[in-house]
Amino acid sequence: MAFMPVSKEDMRERGISQLDFVYIIGDAYVDHPSFGVAIISRVLEHKGYTVGIISQPDWNDPREVLRLGKPRLAFLVTAGNIDSMVSHYTVAKRPRAEDLYSAGGKNGRRPDRAATVYCQMCRKAAPEIPVLCGGLEVSLRRFAHYDYWKNEVMPSVLADCGADLLMFGMGELTVAEIADRLGAGEDVRTILDVRGTCYMCSPKDTPYGAVQCPSYEEVRADKTMYARACRIQYDWQDEVYGRTLIQRHGDRMLVQNPPQRSLTSQELDEVYSLPYERNYHPMYEKEGGVPAIKEVRFSITHNRGCFGFCNFCSIALHQGRRVACRSEESVIREAEELTKLPDFKGYIHDVGGPTANFRLPSCEKQLSQGLCKGKKCLAPTPCKNLTVDHSGYLHMLRRLRELPGVKKVFIRSGIRYDYLIEDRDSTFMNELIKYHISGQLKVAPEHCSAAVLDKMGKPHIEAYKRFQKRFYEITGRQGKEQYLVPYLMSSHPGSTLKDAVELAVFLKENGIRPEQVQDFYPTPGTISTCMFYTGLDPYTLEPVYVAKKPEEKAMQRVLLQYYKPENRRKVIEALERAGRRDLIGTGEGKLVPPDGGYLRKYGTNSRGAKGSGNSRREKGGWERKQVANRKCQGKGRKRV
């Protein structure tokens, strides 16, 4: 095994005078199957093509893309595993302190909107060479889209970047077909019929029978048209009944061919059997390596796709809603390879994917008819046709546990508790809790308000309550001290301040104290981002409340961490604004104790009536108690 060439010296050692493909990437080069670059380059190598990697070139010098010479067939371009803007900026639009996909975790090693910049560099440096772009960033920006960082609607990335073809979704079959056609001498300008690709053309060359979205100009000028376009784009993203979609951009037409089909189990097995180095390139060793490898080096991906279809998630537009799985034997072989690595300590960190416990289609119907348009398999309640069966996953996990050298097999990627709780056979849940978690199980209820969960495309909180009750029953019966760690989101479209208060009360009633909460992040292309920008539900065109002011977003966020002393004043302000002064106080059913300013204004009466005159004494007593608490915590003693 060897890494792909990254220098002219590497090429000479392998006797390569000209590469078939030069791959320009926004991440540091990691040859592990959790990284799209590794999979695509290995697939092309397996087909007999040569591929060289140029990682994070200096974007101020277009000649950087010629470091390995001009490719024979095409440049390949990707921003990396995640959107470059998400990689660079927090939801508050502040620069992130680190970039896990760069050597040493150092930020600033790729440009904003990296795929566009790299494509333009290739086009300028070698205009005669075809440019093919792919990856998550371009997948989510393939239509006209709202850009959170510019706060405006931008055209398709193809309109700006200059690439010949955009490959969306999981690209193994797509890039292999294009490579073979280019290799056979076909002009890239005639390769217009490959599934999973987009291209730009003259309106007169638009293919017949396509479904038309409102134009870039229309969606930019009219939010209702933007919402309509969003629904059209999602309604036809199915590999069975998906149609060609078109969207006019001025004097050009964007054409999206139907989505590429999912890989079969046999094809997935072949992809994951390729000779990956399973590590970052040695050239990064002097900088401490690439942090992103730590989470995946000893993890196994067994599936793709997710029929959960949350509105804020990008999987439906990228991997798709249909679940594809590797065979059990393929997963076992990979695990055996892990046990032979010199730094393997006996722990498989994850056996999962977008959703760890999906190994079957959601129902038999989807195989021939596709997934239901405009509907969700699990929300707001599970579909009556849903197939719930963990037996295959359970059998595979049992075999993994028995492998020589394996001490523990964890499941750390998302478990869909709403799917799991529908399984009438409790065997998997029992073994999950007994063998596959280490003190904590992360799940994602996200909120408790039915109105907000409907906008998220998530099941109502009753499903979580059922799961929570069952989890702690089994944990207690097994004599274990294990906990659920819920992922929660503030300020999602539809969430008002009153909804955030409702969530805070739910958290207190259930003894949940989240250490981290996530503000809704409007990433390109998702249904939730459409609601954030337009204030409309794209499926009903009904108005949706959106918290956009930083002050209100901060209030919604601190309410989820109401228990932190540093949040007290902001929580009180939020409760007052929401008309919930009844939750301010120190007794049972109260959310937060009063601070000095509140007491001076209202006294001790939690409803804001005239105080009893003892506010100074009560305030002092409460503060003395908090000081004692902090001292005890610092010394490891029980709280007062």
Ramachandran area for residue 42 (φ above 0: left; ψ -120 to 50: alpha; else beta): alpha
Pull the structure tokens for residue 230. 């969003």
In this prediction, residue 612 carries a pLDDT of: 36
pLDDT of residue 438: 86
Q: What pLDDT was estimated at residue 605?
A: 55
Which tens digit of pLDDT belongs to each residue from 361-406? 999 999 899 999 999 999 999 999 999 999 999 999 999 999 999 9
3.40.50.150, 3.40.50.2300, 3.50.50.60, 1.10.645.10: which CATH number matches 8-198?
Answer: 3.40.50.2300
Which CATH architecture describes the domain 298-437?
A: 2-Layer Sandwich (3.30)
Confidence of residue 316 (pLDDT cuts 50, 70, 90): confident
**443: pLDDT strictly greater than 50:** yes
What per-residue confidence (pLDDT) applies to 604? 57
Asked whether the beta carbons of 40 and 23 are under 8 A apart, the reply is yes
**Which two three-digit tokens encode residue 268?**
């997935």
CB 85, CB 112: distance < 8 Å:
yes
What tens digit of pLDDT does each residue of 458-469 get? Answer: 999 999 999 999
Helix axes of 497-509 and 568-577: crossing angle, nearest 10 degrees: 120
Burial track 53-63 (b if 16+ CB lie within 10 A, e otherwise): bbbbbebeebe
The SS3 of residue 63 is helix
497, amino acid identity: L
**pLDDT, position 598:** 66
Q: Give phi and psi for 76, each to the nearest 5.
A: -110, 140
Q: Which CATH code is given to the segment(s) 439-561? A: 3.30.750.200
Q: How confident is the model at residue 608 (pLDDT cuts 50, 70, 90)?
A: very low
Q: What is the pLDDT of residue 413?
A: 84
Q: pLDDT tens-digit profile of 13-70?
A: 999 999 999 999 999 999 999 999 999 999 999 999 999 999 999 999 999 999 999 9
Return the percentage of the chain with pLDDT > 90, whole number.
89
pLDDT of res. 515: 82
Q: Which residues of 250-287 are buried (b: 16+ CB within 10 A; e: fewer)?
A: eebbbbbbbbbbbbeeeebbbbbbbebbbbbbeebeee
- What is the value of pTM for the model shown? 0.91
Instruction: Give me the pLDDT at residue 588, please.
Output: 87
Mean pLDDT of all residues belonging to the chain = 92
560-598 tens-digit pLDDT: 999 999 999 999 999 999 999 999 998 888 999 988 666
Q: Look at residue 637 and tell me whether its pLDDT is greater than 80.
A: no
What is the domain partition of the chain in residue ranges?
8-198, 298-437, 439-561, 578-640
Residue 630 has a pLDDT of 39
Provide the pLDDT for residue 1. 58
From 120, 107, 132, select the one nearest 27 (Cα to Cα).
Answer: 107
Q: What is the mean pLDDT of residues 426-454?
A: 95
Report the pLDDT averaged over residues 300-318: 93
- 204-247 confidence digits (pLDDT tens): 999 999 999 999 999 999 999 999 999 999 999 999 999 999 99
416, 308 in Cβ contact below 8 A?
yes
- pLDDT, tens digit (0-9, with 9 covering 90-100), for 126-149: 999 999 999 999 999 999 999 999
Please give the average per-residue pLDDT across 317-340, as a whole number.
96
Asked if domains 8-198 and 298-437 share a fold, the reply is no
pLDDT, position 640: 25
Strands 145-147 and 152-154, bridge-based pairing = antiparallel
Average pLDDT score over residue span 599-604:
66
Pairing of strands 347-348, 408-409: parallel
